[in-house]
A and B are shown apart, each in its own frame.
Chain A
Amino acid sequence: MKLNKGRANFGSNRAREESPFIKMHVTNLVRYKPDISNCNQKSKEQNKKKYERLFLILSGAVIGLLNGFFGGGGGMVCVPILEKVLKLDNKHAHATAIAVILPISLISAFIYVYNGYLESFPLLIVGGGVLAGGVLGSYALKVLPPKAIRIIFAIVMFAGGIKLIF
């Protein structure tokens, strides 16, 4: 009689609360729930890290290809990637981009020199200027260039690009 009643009310809330069998499972579920969510969170974080790593490797490939192919310009691609993926602020991204490009440039520089694309005369003269400017620019990073300079820089670059195409 009691059993029948229990079965008849199996679907109702009251039965679910009362039945020891179901109660056990519900409590088990509740007991294990935190573990499961914890697990999910962990794997989600791991997945996120995996994707981040994969993205970093892919962007490294793009930066490397561009920098090797064009002999420069990888830094300009690198800065926004560092800002977005590694969440670096502007100054850190600019400085770190140089550190990323240095070893990358080293390899392609070797290949350019090996292929004979180097003349000592322009190298020495231009190199001297670049060095002096580089030191000045490094100290100037404390005060990043204002908007106007960056806009002019972009426009000059665009004009240069058009000139090179035609």
Chain B
Amino acid sequence: MVLFGFAAGIFGGLGMGGGTLLIPLLTIFLGLDQKLSQGINLITFLVMALIAIIIHYKNGYIATKGIVYIVLSGIIFSAIGALVAGILPSKVLRIAFGVFLCVLSVIELFKVLKK
């Protein structure tokens, strides 16, 4: 579990989807409930992100212009997303997450190969 977290943390700190790695690791290999692993991912991300942001800020990698709009509407819709996820059964969420992962990985693959 520590190793899984460590691996996911590296990718999370890089800002390239630690959660998308951690959630499937937790559900597939440790057999945790989909919603539980999503909840765990969110909480661990909060602490990790805070530290990562401080480090990135010191390195001068954080841009602030224009992100207010994303953040504000993001906050509203994330509440809606989380509430919907709370209503749906874990099995549906798991399948939806699987599709989401496949789509993301294909996009990522195209992006890397295009460069």
A105 and B42 in contact, given A133-B7, A142-B59 (Cβ under 8 angstroms): yes
A-B contact count (CB 8 A): 409
Q: How large is the interface on A (under 10, 10 to 19, 20 to 34, 35 or more residues)?
A: 35 or more
A21 part of interface (Cβ distance < 8 Å): no
A35 part of interface (Cβ distance < 8 Å): no
By CB atoms of chain B within 10 A, which of A71, A96, A98, A164 has the most? A71
Could you tell me if A94 and B16 are in contact, using CB atoms closer than 8 angstroms? yes
**Within B59-80, which residues are at the interface with A (CB < 8 Å)?**
59, 61-67, 69-80
Select A138's contact among B13, B17, B25, beta carbons within 8 Å.
Answer: B13
Main secondary structure of the interface of B (DSSP, over half): helix
Could you tell me if A137 and B13 are in contact, using CB atoms closer than 8 angstroms? yes
**Within A114-166, which residues are at the interface with B (CB < 8 Å)?**
115, 117-119, 122-123, 125-142, 144-145, 147, 150-151, 153-158, 160-166
Chain B contact residue count (CB 8 A cutoff): 98
Could you tell me if A164 and B73 are in contact, using CB atoms closer than 8 angstroms? no
Chain A residues in contact with chain B, CB under 8 A? 52-53, 56-82, 85-86, 88, 91-109, 111-113, 115, 117-119, 122-123, 125-142, 144-145, 147, 150-151, 153-158, 160-166
Given contacts A98-B12, A117-B36, 11 further A-B contacts (CB under 8 A): A67-B74, A68-B81, A68-B85, A73-B104, A86-B67, A95-B15, A100-B74, A133-B48, A135-B51, A154-B106, A157-B21
